[in-house]
């Protein structure tokens, strides 16, 4: 399977468990990798035959900026589910880091890898709280 990726998508969000973190936006950086078959697009040279990663980036940025999750785990899971649901990719890998979260480290974060089967299970478990 081919891979399409977006590296170092950077934005600000309310994220964290401490009171002060609920008051100020903090930087988050996201790497996204999509499993895709790009052969049709390579032959047609048409954006209609591939994943429009500019649209994905804009949607993910808007989602993160509007979010107010406590855990990076929750934000990352919701990003993965949103991408599978709205853009129809078969698989996605999302790495989210929060620079400066721990003194003496560059950043901390999480990596999740999800597919369409995970989306169905997530919907069953999360009910009405599914991706916005």
Enumerate the active-site residues: 98
What is the model's pLDDT at position 128?
57
Q: Do 56 and 2 touch, CB atoms closer than 8 A?
A: no
Q: What is the pLDDT of residues 64-99, one digit of tens each?
A: 999 999 999 999 999 999 999 999 999 999 999 999
Number of domains in the chain: 1
Q: What is the pLDDT of residues 14-59, one digit of tens each?
A: 999 999 999 999 999 999 999 989 999 999 999 999 999 999 999 9
Residue 71's CATH number: 3.30.1130.10
- Count CB atoms within 10 A of the CB of residue 32: 22
Domain that holds residue 48: 2-129
What is the model's pLDDT at position 1?
84
Following DSSP, what letter does each residue of 10-46 receive, concatenated?
A: EEEE---SSGGGGTS-EEEEEEEEEEE--HHHHHH--
What is the model's pLDDT at position 56?
97
């Amino acid at each position: 399977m081919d891979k399409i990726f977006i590296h170092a998508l950077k934005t600000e969000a309310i994220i964290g468990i401490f009171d002060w973190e609920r008051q100020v936006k903090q930087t988050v950086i996201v790497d996204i990798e999509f499993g895709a078959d790009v052969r049709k697009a390579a032959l047609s040279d048409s954006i209609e035959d591939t994943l429009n990663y500019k649209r994905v980036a804009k949607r993910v940025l808007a989602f993160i900026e509007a979010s107010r999750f406590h855990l990076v785990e929750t934000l990352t899971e919701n990003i993965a589910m949103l991408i599978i649901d709205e853009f129809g990719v078969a698989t996605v890998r999302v790495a989210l880091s929060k620079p400066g979260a721990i003194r003496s480290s560059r950043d901390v974060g999480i990596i999740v890898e999800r597919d369409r089967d995970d989306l169905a299970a997530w919907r069953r478990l999360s009910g009405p709280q599914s991706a916005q």
